[in-house]
Structure 1
Amino acid sequence: MALRSNPTLRQRRLGAELRRMREQAGLGGSQLARALGINPAHVTQMESGKTGISVERLRTIAALCMCVNEPLIEALAEIITDRDKGGWWEEYRGRLAQHFLEMAEIEYGAHGLSTYTMAFIPGLLQTTAYASAVFARGFPRLPPHEVDLRTAFRMKRQHVVRSGKTPYSAYIHEAALRMQFSGPKVQAEQLGSLIEDSERPSISIRVVLFNVDTLPVNHENFTYLEGPIPELDTAQMDSGLDSMLYDAPAHTAQFRSLLKRIDSAALSEEESREFIQSIKKDMERNYG
């Protein structure tokens, strides 16, 4: 079987979970290879996502690693079963950086999404004009065709939450509500769109006010993506230059704890709608 030159995010995650399973059993790669009757290099390739495995081999590895977490095994088997199903984002491969595609892929497979943003409205809730303005303000400046491409991609990503397919909780800092990327008119339209989205049954929008001074958040913007089971949860954080993914249990536990603290500090959904409406009215007075 030819090695994959560019494994997908789900393929790499499957490999990472196989490695975690082996390490928790205290087995080295060579030990597992001997038990399976394969070359040690093959184990490395499986754990990097560069070669696939069958569901039968997954169950063999789980047994050899003394893994009795049946929900995890079933969830990994589902990844294997779905490995050949391409998503809409594949049409952008070779046109956008890999991390754009990976974010769309992991959002599509998530069972629940939560975001916290301080600098801008969450991408999954941005209007076309607002998203275009955000991309256009980058440094160095992107050419217009790149701005249009990224904006179109972001709009397609939004289907996962606007369709009601995936429950979505957005925690938005007051700073993001007031930050203008293309003047008060675009911002007011964006705030109006937020109010409309907050009425959707599958979308929760909560505001964190400036006067909340005890929030222990070192990350300005992050997304928490729930897998079919907690062991397959993932956190994503923007670094400004790239997108970083965290799936180690210690990391996901930290992000879950952060979300609980943010949830306790945020306004209620109704209070948030009223607060966003008040800022919208201020913006409208600036261009009305």
Structure 2
Amino acid sequence: MRQRRLGTELRRLREQADLSATAAGAQMGSSQSRVSSIESGGYAVSADRVRAMGREYRCADRELIEALARMTGGRTRGWWDEYRDILPAGMLDLAELEHHASSMRIASVIHLPGILQTREHARAVISDVVPPLEPYEVEHRGSYRIKRQAVLHGEHPVEVTAILHEAALRMDFGGPDVARAQLTYLLEMAERDNVTLRVIPFGSGTFPSSGQGIIYLGGEVQHLDTVQLDTDHGSEFLDTQPQLARYRHTLDRMEALALAPAGSQDMIDRIQRDLRR
């Protein structure tokens, strides 16, 4: 995913410079096929080559070029590689993006964010997909979802702001016991310095969202941000500047309707206590 994004950004810089792949290759003493291979993510390029391409494309944004240079070196190998022949590619791409993210903003209306789910809650949700999965597939996806949470811990945990609609807190997936444990876990995570939970109560007003899960992953520079949409047919990744601006606006609108963190934790606690009755 990271190498493909690097290629995509280099192609955009070339097109902004009004150069064909053939012309760009000739200017750099290369070929059209080599330029196309770099842009498709099929050929690993060095940091120095990225800087040279930035000069040829007359890109004045040095911060962007240096961020692109740091994306070189081929595909990152991480824990998600053990799932490469087991899970869809979009899941692995999301784990890689989360691993490299500088920050994350998440919005969930119906389902709680996967990165904040307990194992039992995840198993209950995953077991209910259509078409149904085999038991071993449920376990694979559940363990993958829990391993994604590593980015919340460690020496340099990612900063996460999660905007949760009240509906997601009341869905009761897995039954009352699982739901209570899940809400307890949310309250525990909200105590972490790098996790902020904001709840949108019923009746707060409308916002520009279809209800699908949104993860806005911060890049090293804003130009390299990525949006992941959690759809019924799998993950969709968006990275054009108009798309990024649209989802920043959507998240801003949703966050403006949400309670402050302290009030949000109070609401989660009240909902949890309601489940005990």
Q: Is the 2:124–2:174 Cα contact (8 Å) retained in structure 1?
A: yes
Alignment pair present for 1:116 and 2:107: yes
Q: Is the 2:108–2:213 Cα contact (8 Å) retained in structure 1?
A: yes
2:26 to 9, 34, 37: 34
SS at match of 2:33: helix
2:213: which partner in 1?
221
Cα separation, 2, equivalents of 1:120 and 1:174 = 10
Alignment pair present for 1:165 and 2:165: no
Q: Is the 1:137–1:181 Cα contact (8 Å) retained in structure 2?
A: no
Q: Is the 2:54–2:65 Cα contact (8 Å) retained in structure 1?
A: yes
2:8: which partner in 1?
16
Cα separation, 2, equivalents of 1:238 and 1:220 = 6
Q: Is the 1:224–1:235 Cα contact (8 Å) retained in structure 2?
A: yes
1:181: which partner in 2?
173
Cα separation, 2, equivalents of 1:162 and 1:138 = 29
Q: Percent identity?
A: 38
Q: C-alpha deviations, 1:93-137, integer Å up to 9, x for none?
A: 111111111110000000001100111111011001000000001
Q: Which runs of 5+ in 1 are unaligned?
A: 1-8
Cα separation, 2, equivalents of 1:91 and 1:145 = 15
Letter matched to residue 282 of structure 1: D
Judged with a 3 Å threshold, the aligned counterparts in structure 2 of structure 1 residues 85 and 243 are, in CA distance, closer, same or farther, namely: closer
TM-score scaled by length of structure 2: 0.97
Alignment pair present for 1:191 and 2:183: yes
Q: Is the 2:2–2:75 Cα contact (8 Å) retained in structure 1?
A: no
SS at match of 1:80: coil
Cα separation, 2, equivalents of 1:195 and 1:60 = 49
Q: C-alpha deviations, 1:220-247, integer Å up to 9, x for none?
A: 2110000010010000001211100001
Q: C-alpha deviations, 1:4-58, integer Å up to 9, x for none?
A: xxxxx00100000100110111111121111122221211111000111122221
Q: Which runs of 5+ in 2 are unaligned?
A: none
1:126 to 117, 129, 145: 117
Alignment pair present for 1:90 and 2:57: no
Aligned residue-pair number: 276
SS at match of 1:284: coil
2:266: which partner in 1?
274
Cα separation, 2, equivalents of 1:60 and 1:284 = 63
Q: Name the stretch that deviates more: 29-38 or 110-119.
A: 29-38
1:284: which partner in 2?
276
How is 1:231-242 mapped onto 2 (pairs within 5 angstroms)?
231-242=223-234
Supply the RMSD in Å over aligned alpha carbons. Answer: 1.2
Q: C-alpha deviations, 1:46-88, integer Å up to 9, x for none?
A: 100011112222111111100121111111111114x354111
Cα separation, 1, equivalents of 2:161 and 2:181 = 21
Letter matched to residue 121 of structure 1: L
SS at match of 1:218: coil
Letter matched to residue 116 of structure 1: A
Cα separation, 1, equivalents of 2:108 and 2:211 = 9
TM-score scaled by length of structure 1: 0.93
Cα separation, 2, equivalents of 1:162 and 1:260 = 26
Q: Is the 2:51–2:66 Cα contact (8 Å) retained in structure 1?
A: no
1:3: which partner in 2?
none
Alignment pair present for 1:205 and 2:212: no
